[in-house]
Amino acid sequence: MKNQMEMSDKRNKYTALLNENSFKLERILESIIVGMLTGLIISFLRFLVDKSGYLLVNTYKTIGLKHWLIPVWIIFLITIGYIIGLIAKRMLQLGEVVFHKLKVYYLKSFI
């Protein structure tokens, strides 16, 4: 009976260690995948910023040659600014909701 309990105890410890190692490996693989995806996204965004710089220079050259495009450019900039303002306002509202929920959960941990 004692020998059987010892074997069962050893088996439980082995299973626990195996699960822990599997969990660690899973987290390492997830971290590698997240890091690779983040790197790809950042590289793509840097590429877009680089190309948009060339586009902006060409746009200013074109506006310099065709002055009637100045009002169109101003309207375009105002529209883009308005859209970004709407996005920022929405993100702030979402942030307030998330912050409030986190604050409530944090305070509940002390009660």
Q: What DSSP character marks residue 80?
A: H
Q: Supply the range of the domain harboring residue 47.
A: 1-64
Q: Is 1 helix (H, G, I), strand (E, B) or coil?
A: coil
Q: Tell whether 12 and 43 lie within a shared domain.
A: yes
The amino acid at 107: L
Q: What is the pLDDT of residues 47-93, one digit of tens each?
A: 999 998 899 899 999 999 999 999 999 999 999 999 998 888 887 77
Q: What's the number of domains the chain is made of? A: 2
Q: Do 52 and 101 belong to one domain?
A: no
Per-residue pLDDT tens over the stretch 17-40: 566 666 677 788 888 999 999 999
The helix, strand and coil proportions of the chain, stated in percent and rounded to the nearest 5, come to 95, 0, 5
- Both 52 and 87 in one domain: the answer is no
**Three-class secondary structure of residue 110 per DSSP:** coil
Query: 102 is written with which tokens?
Result: 């986190």
Closest Cα to residue 37, out of 109, 45, 53? 45
Q: Is the pTM of this model over 0.85?
A: no
Query: What is the residue whose two structure tokens read 């040659």?
Result: 65
Residues 4 and 44 occupy one common structural domain: yes
